[in-house]
Structure formats: C-alpha cells, structure tokens
Amino acid sequence: MRNIFLLCCSLLGLPATLLAQEIAPAPFARWYGSVQYGRQTYQLFNPPKLEPWLTNARRTQLSTGYQLNPSWAFQVGWGYSGNKFITDNFGTNTSGQPVTEQGWTKDRSHAFSAVARYTFLRFPLQKFQLEWIAGPVLLRRRNWGEFTRTENGVVTEKRLNDNRATDWYVVAGPGLSYALGRHFQATSELLFNRNLRTTKYEIKTFRSLGIGLRYRFGYK
C-alpha cells in the first residue's frame, strides 16, 4: 500500500517537473558587439541662424550591448561618415579670358547612440527575431572648405567656410536578426529619427536603413 501511495505521488509530481523543464529559460549571451553599414538621413540645424540642412550619408557604425534578459537589451554605438569633394574647373569667360575654379570641401560627422532593444517575436526555432529599437542619438557634424575663382590670372572670388552643428534626435523602428550559428547573427534595421529642435507643428521625420553582423561573446 505504501509503495502504491509513493507511486501515485510520483506520477502526480511528474507533470509539474515536465512543466518546469519546459519553461526553463534557454541559455543566452549577455555581451555582444556589432558592426553595421547603411544610409542614414538626419536633419541638422546649422548655427548661428539654425538653417535646416539634410545629411544623407553612408555610415559605418560600431556597437556594443548587454542582454538583460531574453527580451530586453541595451546598447551604445558610434557611427562615422566622411567625404571629400574636389572642384577643379577650367574654361573661358564671355570675353575669351581663361577662367579657373578650384576648391575642396570636407564633410565629417559622428553619431553617438544609446538605445534599448526589445525582442517581441521569435520564429522558427528562435532563428529569426523581430525587435523594436528606440533611444536618443547625438550627431556632431562639420563641413568646411575653400573655393577660389581666377580670371586671366586675377583672383575674382575667394570663399572660406566652416560650418559645425550638434543636434539631438529620438530614433525608433523595427529590427530583424537571423542566427547564423551559436555566436553570429545577421541584422537589419529600419529606424526613423526626429530632430528635437523641430517644432510640434513641423513633421520632419527621416529614416535610416542598415545591415550588419552581431557577435555574442558568452552564454549564461
């Protein structure tokens, strides 16, 4: 009788044991790093007149993050973009005199981000993950250069410019990742940003699209 009682208790406890095994969280990596490349469009307000300016640049971004739990992660990132443009024109004016136009322009920008990532859907076998990404971004940009126009050996125009802008943005949008193995994930993001200088009566939202690779360093 005692053996039958113990057997019944064991059978009654079996479903609870199986359930506990079922809901036990799978191991997940805590720290990760990623590299991303894409096109980002931001609206800048150049001082002193705060005239709006659009920067549409291909940018490389490096990020590092920490996975708080299987759903939530926090990451910081740094993105860089740099270009140089050369002007070197030769010709003649309406009087037939030789004209040269020479100059250069450099454009550099740095984007610093601190965003939260929330995974709200996994399928199938947790290889695909859909995420929602949101947080602030600080963008610093400098555009500077010079231009000289010469007619018949005489300088008729000379310009120097040095424009700098620093702006804050709020960004949000979806992300998709696909597990390539235990450590690597292919990623893509479509983020929408809004300059915090923009008034509530202006709808000035711009988007950024990027693809990248994420590496997870360790497992719990």
Q: What is the pLDDT of residues 74-120, one digit of tens each?
A: 999 999 998 889 988 888 887 888 999 999 999 999 999 999 999 99
Q: What is the pLDDT of residue 75?
A: 97
For residue range 132-190, list pLDDT tens digits in order.
999 999 999 998 999 999 988 888 899 998 888 899 999 999 999 999 988 899 999 99
Q: Is the distance from CB of 101 to CB of 85 less than 8 angstroms?
A: no
- Provide the token pair at 200: 């509530």
Q: Tell me if residue 89 falls in helix, strand or coil.
A: strand
Q: Please name every residue paired with 110 in a beta bridge, in sequence order, or none if there are none.
A: 80, 140
Q: With cut-offs at 50, 70 and 90, classify the pLDDT of residue 198.
A: confident
- Provide the token pair at 213: 């690779």
- Provide the token pair at 197: 């200088």
Angle CA 187–189–194, to nearest 5? 155
Q: For the whole model, what pTM was predicted?
A: 0.76
E strand spans, 2-71: 31-46, 51-67
**Residue 189 CB coordination number (10 Å):** 22
- Note the Cα 70 to chain centre separation in Å: 22
Q: Please name every residue paired with 161 in a beta bridge, in sequence order, or none if there are none.
A: 145
- State mean pLDDT over 25-47: 84
- State mean pLDDT over 14-37: 63
Q: What is the pLDDT of residue 8?
A: 42
Q: What is the pLDDT of residue 46?
A: 74
Angle CA 11–12–18, to nearest 5? 80
Q: Using CA atoms, how far apart are residues 135 and 76, in angstroms rounded to an integer?
A: 10
Q: What is the pLDDT of residue 203?
A: 63
CATH topology assigned to domain 27-82+104-146+165-216: Porin (2.40.160)
Backbone angles phi, psi at 38, to 5 degrees: -175, -175
- State mean pLDDT over 49-74: 87
Instruction: Give Cα separations from 105 to 60, 61, 69, 77, 158 (angstroms).
Output: 21, 23, 46, 27, 14
Round the average pLDDT of the chain to a whole number and report it.
83
214 by Cβ neighbours in 10 Å (0-12 / 13-18 / 19+) ranks as buried
